[in-house]
C-alpha cells in the first residue's frame, strides 16, 4: 500500500510541476498579442516544450526533482518576463546576443523599470505562493516518501514525454515552415517565430544558433587586422580632401540627427 501511495504522490508531483510550467508559458501569449487567437502551432509547440522539461524532471528523485523544478521554473520565469518587457518597447523578443548587451542598459535602468508592470509578478506567482505551500504540505505529511516510481517506470515515462514533446515541437515548426518557408532558417522576424512555435522553443533554437555560430567563428589573422586598419586610415585621409571640406566655414550650421522616432512624433 505504501508503495502505491508513494508512487501516486511521485506521479502527482511531476504532473503539478509540468502543469505550472505549461500555464506559465501559455500566459505569455496574452502579454504579446492580447486576446487575438494564435495559430495552433503555438499551443502545440508550447505543450511540446513543457513535456520535454517534464521528461527531464521525471528522471530525478522527488527531493532532487523539486530543487530542479525550482531552478527551471525560475529560469523560465525570467526568460518570459524579459521577453514581455522587451516586447513592450521594441515589439520584439529577446535573444542571446541582446542579453550579452544587457550591461548597456545600466544607464537607462529607470526607463527599463518603467516598462515593468505589476501584472508581471504573475510569472512568479507560483514561486511566491504555490512553492511555499508545497513545502508546508511536505512538512505536514505524516509518512516518509520511501518508494515512489521505480527506475524503469521513470525511464519509460520520461521517454514517452520526450518523444511526444519532440513530436509536437517538430509539428509546430513544420507548420510554420509550411506557412512561411525559410523564416526559421533566416531568423529575421523573431516575434513571429515565437508566436508560432512558443517562446521556449524560440529561445532553444536561438541558443543553438548562437552556440553554433560561436564554434564556427574564427579570429582574424594579424595580416587581416593590419589590412583593415590600413583601409580605415586611407578612407580617413580621402575624407579630409573631398569637395565638402570647409564648405560651411564661417556659417552657422544646425545639424539635426533623428534616430528611432516613433510614428506619432512624425505625425504618421
Q: Give phi and psi for 56, each to the nearest 5.
A: -65, -40
pLDDT, one tens digit per residue, over 162-219 is 999 999 999 999 999 999 888 888 888 888 898 889 899 999 999 999 888 888 777 7
Sign of CA dihedral 165, 169, 175, 178: negative
In a domain, 189, yes or no: yes
In a domain, 224, yes or no: no
Record the cell numbers describing residue 184, joined without a space: 526559421
Distance CA 41, CA 258 (A): 39
Instruction: Identify the domain containing residue 158 by its residue range.
Output: 2-216
In a domain, 258, yes or no: no
Contacts of 68 (CB under 8 A, 6+ apart): 56, 57, 60
Mean pLDDT calculated for residue range 94-107: 75
Distance CA 149, CA 3 (A): 8
Q: Is the pTM of this model over 0.75?
A: no
pLDDT, one tens digit per residue, over 123-153 is 888 887 767 766 676 665 544 454 567 788 8
Record the cell numbers describing residue 179, joined without a space: 506557412
SS3 breakdown of the chain: % helix, strand, coil, rounded to 5?
Answer: 75, 0, 25
Residues in the chain: 268
In a domain, 98, yes or no: yes
Q: Give the total number of structural domains in the chain.
A: 1
Amino acid at each position: 500500500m505504501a508503495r502505491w501511495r508513494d508512487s501516486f504522490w511521485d506521479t502527482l508531483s511531476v504532473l503539478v510541476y509540468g502543469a505550472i510550467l505549461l500555464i506559465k508559458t501559455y500566459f505569455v501569449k496574452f502579454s504579446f498579442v492580447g486576446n487575438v487567437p494564435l495559430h495552433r502551432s503555438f499551443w502545440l509547440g508550447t505543450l511540446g516544450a513543457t513535456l520535454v522539461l517534464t521528461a527531464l524532471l521525471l528522471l530525478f528523485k522527488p527531493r532532487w526533482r523539486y530543487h530542479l523544478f525550482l531552478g527551471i521554473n525560475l529560469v523560465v520565469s525570467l526568460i518570459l518576463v524579459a521577453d514581455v518587457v522587451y516586447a513592450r518597447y521594441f515589439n520584439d523578443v529577446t535573444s542571446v546576443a541582446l542579453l550579452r548587451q544587457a550591461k548597456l542598459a545600466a544607464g537607462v535602468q529607470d526607463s527599463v523599470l518603467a516598462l515593468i508592470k505589476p501584472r508581471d509578478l504573475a510569472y512568479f506567482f507560483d514561486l511566491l505562493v504555490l512553492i511555499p505551500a508545497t513545502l508546508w504540505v511536505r512538512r505536514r505529511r505524516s509518512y516518509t516518501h520511501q518508494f515512489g516510481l521505480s527506475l524503469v517506470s521513470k525511464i519509460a515515462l520520461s521517454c514517452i514525454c520526450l518523444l511526444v514533446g519532440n513530436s509536437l515541437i517538430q509539428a509546430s515548426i513544420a507548420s510554420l515552415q509550411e506557412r512561411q518557408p525559410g523564416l526559421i532558417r533566416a531568423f529575421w522576424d523573431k516575434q513571429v517565430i515565437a508566436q508560432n512555435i512558443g517562446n521556449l522553443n524560440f529561445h532553444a533554437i536561438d541558443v543553438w544558433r548562437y552556440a553554433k555560430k560561436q564554434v564556427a567563428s574564427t579570429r582574424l589573422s594579424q595580416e587581416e587586422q593590419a589590412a583593415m586598419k590600413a583601409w580605415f586610415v586611407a578612407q580617413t585621409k580621402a575624407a579630409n580632401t573631398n569637395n565638402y571640406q570647409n564648405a560651411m566655414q564661417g556659417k552657422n550650421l544646425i545639424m539635426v540627427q533623428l534616430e528611432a522616432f516613433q510614428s506619432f512624433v512624425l505625425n504618421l
